[in-house]
Amino acid sequence: RRHAAAFTKARRDRFGDRDWIDRFLSAAAPGCEILDIGCGPGAPVALHIAAAGHQVTGIDSSPELLAEFRRNLPHASAHLSDMRKLALNRRFGGLWAWDSFFHLPAADQPAMFPIFAAHALPGAPLLFNSGPARGEAIGQFEGEDLYHASLDPQDYRDLLAAHDFELLAHSSEDPDCGGRTVWLARRLPD
C-alpha cells in the first residue's frame, strides 16, 4: 500500500507477460466477464483484457491500487477484498490471479482453489503464477521486502484436479515471461 504509486508506474511500463494473457484470452468465451484477482492498478493487463472485448471485474486488498484500477477502467466493477475472503456469489467466464496469488503464505494457498471454483463458470480459464518449487522467497520492491510462497508443483496439479479444473498449460520459470512459473487451467462442466 505504501508504494502503490511506484508499483503503478513500474507495472505500466512492463508487459512481458502478454503471450500468456493472450493464451488465457483465447481459452475464454468471446466477450465474457473476467475476474481479475489481485488486480492492482489494472494497467496494462486489465486494460488489455478490456480492449479484447471482455468486461473486467477487479478485486484487490489495497485501496490505493484499487483507486488506480478505477481510474484506469472507470466502467469496470471493482471490489476491495482480501482474495482469501472473496465471495461475490457469482461466476465468471475467466479468472486471472497474476502476480498476486503467490504473495499468500503457502498455508493459505490451498483454500483459494474452492474460491476459484466458486467463481468460475464451466469452461472458464484460470491463470495464476507461482514459484517453481515448494518454498518461500523474499524479493525487494522500493527497498522493502516482498514475500512470495509456493507449493510443490504436484500440489497445484492435485488442487486443480480436486476442484474440477483441467490443466491446459504449465511452464516452469518461463524465460519468455520474466522467469515466471505459469499455470493455465479450465473449469470442467458441473
Could you report the per-residue pLDDT of 47-60, keeping only the tens digit for each?
999 999 999 999 99
Per-chain mean pLDDT for the chain: 89
| Mean predicted confidence (pLDDT) in 65-84 | 95
Instruction: Write the pLDDT tens digit of every residue in 148-162.
Output: 789 999 999 999 999
Cα separation, 40 vs 50, whole angstroms:
15
Cell of 66: 484499487
With cut-offs at 50, 70 and 90, classify the pLDDT of residue 178.
Answer: confident
CB 86 within 8 A of CB 113: no
Taking the mean position of all CA atoms in its chain, how far away is CA 23?
14
* Residue 85: closest CA among 52, 39, 119: 119
